[in-house]
Chains A and B, each alone.
Chain A
């Protein structure tokens, strides 16, 4: 396994853990939760502490593996060549597609909610923030959560794509 692939694995796991931790908590908050309030500030601090801890653990694991690899494969085991650059570009292209699709989905969701609330349906009472994302009405902070989710999905796509390209060839 190349150094770049190892980095991708660690980054993928870190992103999945942080994304699951954050969105699992935010989306299960009561629909009436104040996403601007002091409770959210404390939550953001806990998120930062969690993210930094996970990143440090990932970095330590990577360094330990790097040391063992260098012993076995020579000093340039961490080098990046044309194939790594090409894989990185292809993975970024995939992530761009995911990000663009997610933004379009959010925009369509906004339009559909506005249309449904005006003409169609009596809105069911949402229990959690996740329910609120489906039923509306969406406040700017809820939209920010959806866009943050889109960014997280794009980041996960980058690392997952790299791993697939390294494993399967391209």
Chain B
């Protein structure tokens, strides 16, 4: 399967926020750790709602976390 056209800065943001673990982020946004792993590695493009929830955890806007690569 091709990776999605959406890249993200989640890994960097996690480390900038006290080295937050993937499990901790998953718990905060109501997803599983496997989904966070898939998003970080570009294998899954999250729904708009999940993208907003992730951005809110980092206190950022969606476009600060996710980048549309095309």
Contact = CB atoms under 8 A, between A and B. Distances in A.
Contact of A76 (B27, B42, B46): B27
A170 interface: yes
B31 A82 contact: yes
Interface string B33-48: 1110010011110110
Secondary structure of the B contact surface, majority rule: loop
Given A82-B47, A83-B44, A170 B35 contact: no
B69 interface: no
B32 A84 contact: yes
B50 interface: yes
A169 B42 CA distance: 8
B27 A81 contact: no
B3 interface: yes
Nearest to A79: B32
Contacts of A53: none
A168 B46 CA distance: 16
Interface string B48-64: 00100000000000000
Given A2-B32, A81-B30, 20 more contacts: A1-B34, A2-B34, A3-B32, A5-B34, A73-B33, A74-B23, A74-B27, A77-B32, A79-B32, A83-B34, A83-B35, A83-B44, A165-B1, A169-B38, A169-B41, A169-B42, A169-B44, A170-B1, A170-B43, A170-B44
Contacts of A74: 23, 27
A166 B46 CA distance: 14
Interface string A1-45: 111010000000000000000000000000000000000000000
Most buried by B among A81, A84, A165, A166: A81
A81 B41 contact: no
Contacts of A165: 1
B35 A82 contact: yes
